[in-house]
Amino acid sequence: MNLVNFLNNILLIHIDFIGEIPKELGSLSELEILSLANNSLIGTIPLLIFNLSSLISMDFSNNSLSGSLPDNMCQHLPNLEEFYMSYNQLTGPIPHNLGQCRMLDSVMLSNNQFGERIPRETGNLTLIKNLYLSENNLIVGRVPAAIFNISTIKILSLCGNQLSGILPSTAELPNLEQLPLFGNNFSGSFPSFITNASKLSLLDISNNSFSGFIPSTIGNLKNLEILDLKSNYFTSSTPDMNFLSSLANCEILRVLRLGKNPLNSIIPSSIGNLSISLEYLNINDCNISGNIPKEIGKLNNVIELQLQDNELTGSIPNTIDGLQNLQRLYLQNNKLEGFSPNNLGQLSELAELHLGGNKFPGTIPTCLGNLTTLRKLYLGSNKLTSVIPSTLWNLEDILYFDLSSNYLNGSLPSNIGNLKVAINIDLSRNLFSGNIPVVIGSLQNLQNLSLGYNRLVGSIPGMFDHLISLEFLDLSSNKLSGVIPKSLENILYLKYLNLSFNQLRGEIPARGCFANLSGDSFMGNLALCGFDPQLKVPPCQSSTHRKSKVLLLIVLSLNIAVTLVVLVFLFVWLKCRKKDKKLPSNIDMSPQETWRRISYHELVRATDGFNEHNLLGKGGFGSVYKGRLDDGMEVAVKVFHLQFEEAFTSFEVECEVMSRICHRNLVKIITCCSSYDFKALVLEYMPNGSLEKCLYSDDNVLDISQRLTIMIDVALALEYLHFGYSTPIVHCDLKPSNVLLDENLVARLSDFGITKLLGEEESMIQTQTLATIGYMAPEYGREGKVSKKGDVYSYGIMLMETFTRKKPTDEIFIEEMSLRRWVGESLCSTVMQVLDTNLLGRDDEHFSSKEELVSSIFSLAMECTRESPAERMGIKEVAIGLINIRVEFAKFKVNDAQGYQIQVSFLHFLLINCTFDFSSNSITYL
Ligand SMILES: *[C@@H]1O[C@H](CO)[C@@H](O)[C@H](O)[C@H]1NC(C)=O
Ligand SMILES: *[C@@H]1O[C@H](CO)[C@@H](O)[C@H](O)[C@H]1NC(C)=O
Ligand SMILES: *[C@@H]1O[C@H](CO)[C@@H](O)[C@H](O)[C@H]1NC(C)=O
Ligand SMILES: *[C@@H]1O[C@H](CO)[C@@H](O)[C@H](O)[C@H]1NC(C)=O
Ligand SMILES: *[C@@H]1O[C@H](CO)[C@@H](O)[C@H](O)[C@H]1NC(C)=O
Ligand SMILES: *[C@@H]1O[C@H](CO)[C@@H](O)[C@H](O)[C@H]1NC(C)=O
Ligand SMILES: *[C@@H]1O[C@H](CO)[C@@H](O)[C@H](O)[C@H]1NC(C)=O
- Supply φ then ψ for residue 543, to 5 degrees: -140, 110
Answering whether pTM is above 0.75, one says no
- Asked if residue 639 is part of any domain, the answer here is yes
The residue whose CB lies within 8 Å of the most ligand 5 atoms, and thus the one to mutate among 216, 242, 246, 270, is 270
Closest CA to 64 of 3, 2, 131, 111: 111
Residue 893 pLDDT: 64
Q: Is 170 in the pocket of ligand 4 (CB under 6 A)?
A: yes
Residue 294 pLDDT: 95
The residue whose CB lies within 8 Å of the most ligand 5 atoms, and thus the one to mutate among 273, 276, 294, 295, is 273
Please confirm, yes or no, whether 844 is among the known catalytic residues. Answer: no
Distance CA 730, CA 765 (A): 13
Distance CA 550, CA 543 (A): 11
pLDDT at 590 over 50: no
pLDDT at 586 over 60: no
pLDDT winner (highest mean) among 193-202, 722-731, 752-761, 777-786: 193-202
Distance CA 18, CA 726 (A): 48
The residue whose CB lies within 8 Å of the most ligand 4 atoms, and thus the one to mutate among 176, 190, 196, is 196
- Judge contact between 695 and 711, C-beta under 8 A: no
Atom index in ligand 2 nearest the CA of residue 99 equals 1
Q: Is 99 in the pocket of ligand 2 (CB under 6 A)?
A: yes
pLDDT at 596 over 80: no
Q: Is 567 in the pocket of ligand 6 (CB under 6 A)?
A: no
- Asked if residue 582 is part of any domain, the answer here is no
Q: Is 522 in the pocket of ligand 7 (CB under 6 A)?
A: no
With the C-alpha atoms ordered 71, 77, 81, 84, is the resulting torsion angle positive or negative? negative
Query: Which protein residue's CA is at the shortest distance from atom 2 of ligand 1?
Result: 51
Angle subtended at Cα 257 by Cα 255 and Cα 263, rounded to the nearest 5 degrees: 145
Distance CA 269, CA 266 (A): 9
- Judge contact between 72 and 97, C-beta under 8 A: yes
Distance CA 712, CA 339 (A): 52
- Asked if residue 727 is part of any domain, the answer here is yes
Residues with a CB atom less than 6 Å from ligand 1:
47-48, 51, 76
- Asked if residue 641 is part of any domain, the answer here is yes
Closest CA to 853 of 813, 825, 811, 883: 883
- Amino acid making up residue 42: I
Full residue range of the structural domain in which residue 712 is found: 691-893
pLDDT at 7 over 60: no
Q: Is 492 in the pocket of ligand 6 (CB under 6 A)?
A: no
Distance CA 162, CA 181 (A): 10
- Asked if residue 679 is part of any domain, the answer here is yes
- Judge contact between 163 and 139, C-beta under 8 A: yes
Q: Is 478 in the pocket of ligand 7 (CB under 6 A)?
A: no
Atom index in ligand 1 nearest the CA of residue 47 equals 13
pLDDT at 133 over 50: yes
My answer on whether 668 and 707 are in the same domain is no
My answer on whether 696 and 674 are in the same domain is no
Our separate counts of H helices and E strands in the chain read: 13, 53
My answer on whether 604 and 697 are in the same domain is no
Q: What is the mean pLDDT of the chain?
A: 84
Q: Which of 285, 733, 791, 836 is catalytic?
A: 733
According to DSSP H, which parts of 773-874 are helical? Answer: 778-783, 788-804, 819-828, 847-864
DSSP 204-238: E--SSEEEEEPPGGGGG-TT--EEE--SSEEE-SS
- Asked if residue 480 is part of any domain, the answer here is no
DSSP 396-416: TT-SEEE--SSEEEEEPPGGG
User: pLDDT digit string (tens) for 97-127?
Assistant: 899 999 999 999 999 999 888 998 899 999 9
pLDDT at 157 over 50: yes
My answer on whether 725 and 760 are in the same domain is yes
Instruction: Work out how many domains the chain is built from and give that number.
Output: 2
Q: Which residue has the higher pLDDT, 187 or 729?
A: 187
Question: What dihedral angle (degrees, nearest 10) is formed by the CA atoms of 800, 806, 809, 813?
Answer: -90
Q: pLDDT confidence of 761, banded at 50, 70, 90?
A: low
Q: How many angstroms separate the alpha carbon of residue 121 from the centre of ligand 2?
A: 6
Distance CA 875, CA 534 (A): 37
Q: How far is CA 578 from CA 566, 582, 676, in A?
A: 18, 6, 12
Q: Which residues of 514-532 are buried (b: 16+ CB within 10 A; e: fewer)?
A: beebebebbbebeebebee
Query: Which protein residue's CA is at the shortest distance from atom 6 of ligand 2?
Result: 121
**Cβ count within 10 A of residue 613:** 8
Query: What would you measure as the largest C-alpha separation in the chain, in angstroms?
Result: 99
Residue 760 pLDDT: 54
Q: Does residue 608 sit in helix, strand or coil?
A: coil
Query: Which protein residue's CA is at the shortest distance from atom 7 of ligand 1?
Result: 51
Q: How many angstroms separate the alpha carbon of residue 82 from the centre of ligand 2?
A: 21
Give the mean pLDDT of 622-637.
Answer: 86
Query: Which protein residue's CA is at the shortest distance from atom 1 of ligand 1?
Result: 51
Give the mean pLDDT of 542-561.
Answer: 46
Q: Where are the beta strands (DSSP E) in 366-465?
A: 376-378, 383-386, 400-402, 407-411, 424-426, 431-435, 448-450, 455-457
Residues in a beta bridge with 306? 282, 330
Q: Is 502 in the pocket of ligand 7 (CB under 6 A)?
A: no
Of 665, 684, 703, the position where a domain reaches its end is: 684
Query: Which protein residue's CA is at the shortest distance from atom 12 of ligand 3?
Result: 146
- Judge contact between 767 and 773, C-beta under 8 A: no
The residue whose CB lies within 8 Å of the most ligand 2 atoms, and thus the one to mutate among 98, 124, 128, 150, is 124
Query: Which protein residue's CA is at the shortest distance from atom 1 of ligand 5?
Result: 273
Q: Would you give the DSSP letter of residue 25?
A: G
**Cβ count within 10 A of residue 130:** 19
Of 650, 667, 684, the position where a domain reaches its end is: 684
Closest CA to 59 of 18, 95, 99, 10: 10
My answer on whether 743 and 846 are in the same domain is yes
Distance CA 256, CA 284 (A): 12
Q: How far is CA 574 from CA 569, 577, 587, 589, in A?
A: 8, 5, 21, 20
The residue whose CB lies within 8 Å of the most ligand 6 atoms, and thus the one to mutate among 495, 514, 516, 521, is 516
User: pLDDT digit string (tens) for 236-283?
Assistant: 999 999 999 999 999 999 999 999 999 999 999 999 999 999 999 999
My answer on whether 852 and 777 are in the same domain is yes
User: pLDDT digit string (tens) for 306-354?
Assistant: 999 999 999 999 999 999 999 999 999 999 999 876 788 899 999 999 9
My answer on whether 680 and 696 are in the same domain is no
Q: How far is CA 551 from CA 554, 557, 558, in A?
A: 5, 10, 10
- Asked if residue 251 is part of any domain, the answer here is no
Q: How many angstroms separate the alpha carbon of residue 273 from the centre of ligand 5?
A: 6
- CB neighbour list of residue 426: distance below 8 Å, 6 or more residues apart: 380, 401, 402, 403, 404, 448, 450
Q: How many angstroms separate the alpha carbon of residue 548 from the centre of ligand 6?
A: 33
Lowest average pLDDT, out of 145-159, 406-420, 521-535, 797-811, goes to 521-535
Atom index in ligand 1 nearest the CA of residue 26 equals 14
Q: Would you give the DSSP letter of residue 746?
A: -
Q: Is 366 in the pocket of ligand 5 (CB under 6 A)?
A: no
Q: Is 151 in the pocket of ligand 4 (CB under 6 A)?
A: no
- CB neighbour list of residue 896: distance below 8 Å, 6 or more residues apart: 845, 846
Q: Would you give the DSSP letter of residue 266?
A: B
pLDDT at 874 over 80: yes
My answer on whether 696 and 833 are in the same domain is yes
- CB neighbour list of residue 417: distance below 8 Å, 6 or more residues apart: 437, 439, 440, 442, 443
**Cβ count within 10 A of residue 513:** 20
My answer on whether 676 and 699 are in the same domain is no
My answer on whether 644 and 629 are in the same domain is yes
My answer on whether 886 and 771 are in the same domain is yes
CATH number of the CATH domain containing 735: 1.10.510.10
**Cβ count within 10 A of residue 496:** 14
CATH number of the CATH domain containing 679: 3.30.200.20
Q: How many angstroms separate the alpha carbon of residue 708 from the centre of ligand 7?
A: 47
- Judge contact between 463 and 436, C-beta under 8 A: no
Lowest average pLDDT, out of 195-204, 560-569, 816-825, goes to 560-569
Q: How many angstroms separate the alpha carbon of residue 180 from the centre of ligand 2?
A: 26
Q: pLDDT confidence of 234, banded at 50, 70, 90?
A: very high
**Cβ count within 10 A of residue 44:** 14
Q: How many angstroms separate the alpha carbon of residue 410 from the centre of ligand 7?
A: 25
Q: How many angstroms separate the alpha carbon of residue 272 from the centre of ligand 5?
A: 8
My answer on whether 641 and 680 are in the same domain is yes
- Judge contact between 114 and 139, C-beta under 8 A: yes
Q: How many angstroms separate the alpha carbon of residue 520 from the centre of ligand 7?
A: 6
Q: Which residue has the higher pLDDT, 335 or 487?
A: 335
Residue 579 pLDDT: 40
- Asked if residue 22 is part of any domain, the answer here is no
Of 684, 714, 748, the position where a domain reaches its end is: 684
pLDDT winner (highest mean) among 373-382, 546-555, 872-881, 915-924: 373-382
Distance CA 178, CA 134 (A): 13
Atom index in ligand 2 nearest the CA of residue 144 equals 5
User: pLDDT digit string (tens) for 197-228?
Assistant: 999 999 999 999 999 999 999 999 999 999 99
Atom index in ligand 2 nearest the CA of residue 121 equals 2
- CB neighbour list of residue 396: distance below 8 Å, 6 or more residues apart: 372, 418, 419, 420, 421
